Amino acid sequence: MKLFREYADELCRAKGDDKEVEKNWYLGFYERYISIELLYARSIAKERVFNKNTDNYIVWFRLYELTVAKWNILLVDTHNMDESGYIIEVSHKSRVIILVKAKEVIKSIDDKREWVINIDIISGIKTASKGFFVIKGKYVFRDLMDYVVESGCTIAVTDNGWFNDLKVMNYIKHFDRYTELIGDYRLLVLDGYGSHVIFQFRKYAYDSKIILLYLPAYTTHKLQLLNVGIFGPQADYYSQEVDEYF
């Protein structure tokens, strides 16, 4: 919006008016020109932006139906796990002016930044399990640990702030601990991140009667319900805090 106001000021100066436009001047601009609107751009990896092959989604949903039928999995035992990364000191959503017919706008991001990983689990009956966090560091401060213990969440530290083979085993045990088995098997829907497919992870899941169903690459922004219901609003609040602080 700052750049937009600068353009408006330049146009005014070109007409001989040196007075700057008001802070909320753009609201009247949108009312006059109904063909454009203001939306928040979602931060998304550029590979996902160009993955528009609908066959990938159709094939996966058929696989999901076959998996549920084969193992007789109940809805209450169906769980969706999703990770959301938050870039340190970077707002995840930006307001962008677009044509109304464009419907949405997406902002590509650079993955080479410092992240904090938030992992949540939600079941088919809309119940959420305790959160799991991965941050960059060596130790966890005592005041943060007090909050973690009180909330029942789990926090792990790694050298780079990302999952590794050791921490992913902590995660699957976390999932096993905080999700109750009602039927014969639990279904865990998750992405195909490298550590999620290691032998130890898959064996622990098998021994614990957890069926793993992986999402196709670069489709989680469409297939992950948590992106819309949980991480979408969470990104809004995070961006607001970053913008206000910096």
Report the alpha-carbon distance of residue 190 to residue 216 in Å, rounded. Answer: 10
Classify residue 27: in a domain, yes or no.
no
Kind and range of the H or E run holding 146: helix 142-151
Classify residue 123: in a domain, yes or no.
yes
User: What share of the chain in percent tops pLDDT 90?
Assistant: 22
Chain CA centroid to CA 240, Å: 16
Mean pLDDT of 206-229: 80
Tell me which residue of 155, 161, 140, 154 sits closest to 85, measured CA to CA.
161
Those residues with Cβ within 8 angstroms of residue 161's Cβ, 6 or more apart along the chain or in another chain: 114, 115, 116, 117, 134, 135, 136, 137
More confident residue, 134 or 183: 183
pLDDT, one tens digit per residue, over 86-126 is 655 445 455 544 444 444 544 444 555 556 777 888 888 87
Whole domain around residue 46: which residue ranges?
A: 35-245
What is the model's pLDDT at position 172? 94
pLDDT, one tens digit per residue, over 17-36 is 888 888 777 777 777 776 66
| Counted domains in the chain | 1
Classify residue 3: in a domain, yes or no.
no
Classify residue 190: in a domain, yes or no.
yes
- CATH number for the domain that contains residue 178: 3.30.420
Classify residue 30: in a domain, yes or no.
no
pLDDT at 81 over 60: yes
C-beta separation of 60 from 219 below 8 A: yes
What is the model's pLDDT at position 113? 55
Classify residue 79: in a domain, yes or no.
yes
Place of tokens 């609107």: 37
C-beta separation of 210 from 174 below 8 A: no
What is the model's pLDDT at position 14? 87
